[in-house]
Chain A
Amino acid sequence: MTKIVVAVKYVPDATANRSFNADNTVDRDGVDGLLSELDEYAVEQALQIIEAGEGEVTVLTVGPDDAADAIRKALQMGADAGVHVKDDAIHGSDAFATSLVLAEAIKKLDYDLLFFGMTSTDGGMGVVPTLVAERLGVPAVTFASEVTVDGDTVKIRRDGDVAAQTVEATGKVVVSVTDQTGEARYPSFKGIMAAKKKEVQEWSLADLGLDAASVGLDNAWSKVESFEPRPARTAGEIVTDEGDGGTKLAEFLASKKFV
Chain B
Amino acid sequence: MSEVLVVVDHVDGAVTKPTLELLTIAKRLGEPSAIYFGGGAVPSVLAEHGAEKIYQLDDAAYTDFLVAPKAEAIAKIAGDSSPAAVLLSSSAEGKEIAARVALKIESGLITDAVDVTADGVTTQSVFAGNFTVQSKVTKGASVITVKPNSANPEASAGAGAVEAVSVDISDAAKGAKITDSQPKAESGRPELTEAAIVVAGGRGTGGDFSEVEAFADSLGAAVGASRAAVDSGWYPHSFQIGQTGKTVSPQLYVANGISGAIQHRAGMQTSKTIIAVNKDDEAPIFELVDFGVVGDLKTVLPQATDEIKKRKG
- Residues of A at the B interface (CB closer than 8 Å) are 14-15, 17-20, 24, 37-38, 94-96, 99, 118, 121-122, 124-127, 130-131, 134-135, 137-143, 145, 155, 159-171, 173, 178-180, 220-230, 233, 236-241, 244-254, 256, 258-259
Contact = CB atoms under 8 A, between A and B. Distances in A.
A124 B92 CA distance: 11
B136 A138 contact: no
B151 interface: no
B175 A169 contact: yes
A127 B111 contact: yes
Contacts of B67: 130
A23 B177 CA distance: 42
Contacts of A131: 99-100, 103
Contact of B300 (A20, A159, A160, A246): A246
A236 B273 CA distance: 10
A163 B181 contact: yes
A104 to B, nearest CB: 15
Contact of B292 (A135, A164, A236): A236
B132 A227 contact: yes
Given A14-B263, A139-B176, A221-B107, A238 B294 contact: yes
Interface in B258-313: 262-263, 266, 273-275, 277, 281, 286-296, 299-308, 311-312
Interface residues of B, number: 94
A222 B294 contact: no
Interface in B2-61: 11
A126 B183 contact: no
Interface in B106-148: 106-112, 121, 125-140
Contacts of A15: 262
B228 interface: no
A227 B178 CA distance: 41
A28 to B, nearest CB: 13
A221 B138 contact: yes
A212 B86 CA distance: 29
A130 B99 contact: yes
Interface stretch (B76-84, B157-165, B236-244): B236-244
A159 B302 CA distance: 32
A137 B170 CA distance: 11
A228 B294 CA distance: 32
Given A126-B92, A162-B184, A226-B133, A220 B275 contact: no
Contacts of B169: none
Contact of A259 (B95, B286, B311): B311
B289 A247 contact: no
29 contacts: A14-B266, A17-B130, A95-B99, A118-B92, A126-B92, A126-B96, A134-B68, A140-B176, A141-B66, A142-B66, A142-B92, A161-B184, A162-B183, A167-B177, A171-B175, A221-B106, A222-B137, A222-B139, A225-B136, A230-B129, A238-B292, A238-B293, A239-B294, A246-B301, A246-B305, A246-B306, A249-B300, A253-B219, A253-B275
Given A17-B130, A126-B96, A253-B304, 15 more contacts: A94-B108, A140-B175, A142-B92, A155-B179, A161-B191, A162-B184, A221-B107, A221-B140, A236-B290, A238-B286, A241-B299, A245-B304, A247-B307, A249-B304, A258-B251
Nearest to B303: A246
B128 A222 contact: no
Nearest to B252: A258
Contacts of B103: 96, 99, 131, 134-135
A240 B281 CA distance: 9
A237 B291 contact: yes
A141 B238 CA distance: 18
Given A125-B95, A139-B176, A259-B308, A163 B183 contact: yes
B290 A237 contact: yes
